[in-house]
Amino acid sequence: MKFPRKLAALSASAACLTLALSGCGADAPKNAGPTGETGKEPVTLSLATFNEFGYEDLLKEYETLNPNVTIQHKKAATTNEARDNLTTRLAAGSGLSDIEAIEVDWLSELKEYPDQFVDLKDPAVEGRWLDWKTEAATTQDGHLIGYGTDSGPEAVCYNGALLEAAGMPSDRESVAKMLGTTWDSYFDAGKKFVAAGTGPAWFDSAGAIYQGMSNQMSKAYENEDGTVIAADNPEVKEVYTKVLTASTQDNLSAHLGQWSNDWVAGFQSQKFATTLCPGWMLGVIEGNAAGVEGWDVANVFPGGGGNWGGSYLTVPSQGKNQAEAKKLAAWLTAPEQQIKAFTAKGTFPSQVEALTSEELLGQTNAFFNDAPTGEIFAERAKAVGDSPFKGPKFFAINDAMQQALTRVDVDKSDDAESSWAKFLTAVKSL
């Protein structure tokens, strides 16, 4: 009968598949080294990053310098994916890499659980980074959760051709002077631009402006003890009103929500003359505005200085190779290495020494009218004030605020008052 033969064939193929699978699915080798020592036994470290940190060549270099170390690099495509992955594995209690890169936006929530991360404080790296960078990653008890990698100091990018058409100066220094150092002077320049009646708006959206302003509020939404003050903090309401007035009443906004299709197309159709830009945004603008002439960077930022983005390398306490991981993280975030990453992928350093390096300061950007971007952003980085206090609910409340602004500015489905009311409801439910 055919039956037994077929069954035999099936079992044989099942067995073969099993063998193949166990071959394919190699577990990460478990390393003997106890967590305290860094000896010469072979060690495999896993590193999880997202986007482009510029680490590819650096990892090879480290492996050559430390022949006992092999590095496995895991990359998530977007920060959201990385965040979801980190959250799931923290919740499950296992599965994190030896080094996990995190972004400053999620940092405040993770600071609530310092025992999940190894304290990376070390006299050897004291003073390596700009103060505001380290502060953001330190808990109230002085537990340092992560080593800073890159940062996002902000300047103002503008389209000189549009400014000229409106009868305004378009070279870098004059524009910087015209924009001034306060938000009011920035908005005033905008009113003048719009009054010239050439068509485009002044900036892309209320949300984008608010993003710049929110990082300048020392204590926006929460107190150190955890109470939520977003609803009562007069500063928040003030900024909210100011931004919306400028956007809708003074017509300075192009009503294009950031990252939306319309916003991308807006660069080509030249719908707005300026936008707040951190270093990493230059690549985005260049891509979206390909073929458009006139973009440049002004060495100024309303309110003094601002930072948007930037990441850290953390060592989760789940890991089994904590000492080696700490060593690798310290090496990767050293000024020399960060400069190499900057050259590779444009990630702007947050290390003090790196800001004075020749390579960095000599950098220019052809698309932005050969602006000395290295110099500009180095100065902007130094101008960033104290890091604002961000509690665990910062992310969620800030999101709610962005949505409130979008409702009024982009969707036009609400007026300022009713949108604010919805914001309050959202905050209360958190």
Query: Which residues ranging from 384 to 403 are in contact with other proteins (CB under 8 A)?
Result: 395-396, 399, 402-403
Closer residue to other proteins, CB minimum distance, 170 or 350 = 350
User: Which class for 320: exposed (0-12), middle (13-18), buried (19 or more C-beta within 10 A)?
Assistant: middle
Closer residue to other proteins, CB minimum distance, 1 or 65 = 1
Closer residue to other proteins, CB minimum distance, 91 or 124 = 91
Closer residue to other proteins, CB minimum distance, 166 or 426 = 426
Binding to other proteins (CB under 8 A): which residues in 40-69? 46, 50-52
Instruction: Write out the two tokens for 396.
Output: 């969620």
Among 174, 268, 356, 364, binds other proteins (CB under 8 A): 268
Closer residue to other proteins, CB minimum distance, 311 or 351 = 311
HSE (side-chain half, CA atoms, 13 Å) at 83: 13
Among 31, 61, 68, 89, binds other proteins (CB under 8 A): 89
Closer residue to other proteins, CB minimum distance, 64 or 261 = 261
Closer residue to other proteins, CB minimum distance, 172 or 255 = 255
Report which of 175, 163, 151, 174 is spatially closest to residue 294, judged by C-alpha positions: 163
State in angstroms the smallest separation of the CB of 399 from other proteins.
Answer: 7
Question: How many residues sit close enough to other proteins to count as binding (CB under 8 A)?
Answer: 83
Strands (E) across 228-385 are located at 274-278, 295-298, 307-314
Ordered DSSP codes for 55-70: -HHHHHHHHHHSTTEE
Instruction: Write out the two tokens for 27.
Output: 């577990």
Binding to other proteins (CB under 8 A): which residues in 408-427? 410-414, 422, 425-426
Number of H helices, E strands in the chain: 18, 7
State in angstroms the smallest separation of the CB of 347 from other proteins.
Answer: 11
Ordered DSSP codes for 266-277: HHHTT-BSEEEE
Considering the rule CB under 8 A, would residue 90 count as an interface residue with other proteins? Answer: yes
Closer residue to other proteins, CB minimum distance, 84 or 359 = 84
Closer residue to other proteins, CB minimum distance, 260 or 343 = 260
Binding letters toward other proteins, positions 290-329, x by CB under 8 A: xx--------------------------------------
Among 174, 182, 218, 269, binds other proteins (CB under 8 A): 269
Considering the rule CB under 8 A, would residue 28 count as an interface residue with other proteins? Answer: yes
Instruction: Write out the two tokens for 157.
Output: 């990018």
State in angstroms the smallest separation of the CB of 20 from other proteins.
Answer: 7
Amino acid residing at 13: S
Closer residue to other proteins, CB minimum distance, 187 or 423 = 423
State in angstroms the smallest separation of the CB of 3 from other proteins.
Answer: 6
Contact 361, 155 (CB under 8 A): no
Binding to other proteins (CB under 8 A): which residues in 338-367? none
Binding to other proteins (CB under 8 A): which residues in 226-265? 256-262, 264-265
Considering the rule CB under 8 A, would residue 11 count as an interface residue with other proteins? Answer: no
Among the residues of 143-233, which ranges form H helices? 160-165, 172-179, 183-195, 206-214
Among 55, 129, 132, 280, binds other proteins (CB under 8 A): 280
Considering the rule CB under 8 A, would residue 156 count as an interface residue with other proteins? Answer: no
328-332: list long-range contacts, CB under 8 Å, 24+ apart: 328/45, 328/47, 328/62, 328/69, 328/71, 328/98, 328/99, 329/99, 329/120, 329/147, 330/120, 330/122, 330/124, 330/125, 330/147, 331/62, 332/55, 332/58, 332/62, 332/147, 332/149
Specify the stretch interacting with other proteins by CB under 8 A; choose among 60-68, 155-163, 182-190, 267-275: 267-275
Among 101, 104, 107, 110, binds other proteins (CB under 8 A): 110
Contact 297, 92 (CB under 8 A): no
Considering the rule CB under 8 A, would residue 283 count as an interface residue with other proteins? Answer: yes
State in angstroms the smallest separation of the CB of 72 from other proteins.
Answer: 6
Residue 32, SS3 per DSSP: coil
Residue 241, SS3 per DSSP: helix
Report the alpha-carbon distance of residue 296 to residue 301 in Å, rounded: 14
β-partners of residue 351 are 129
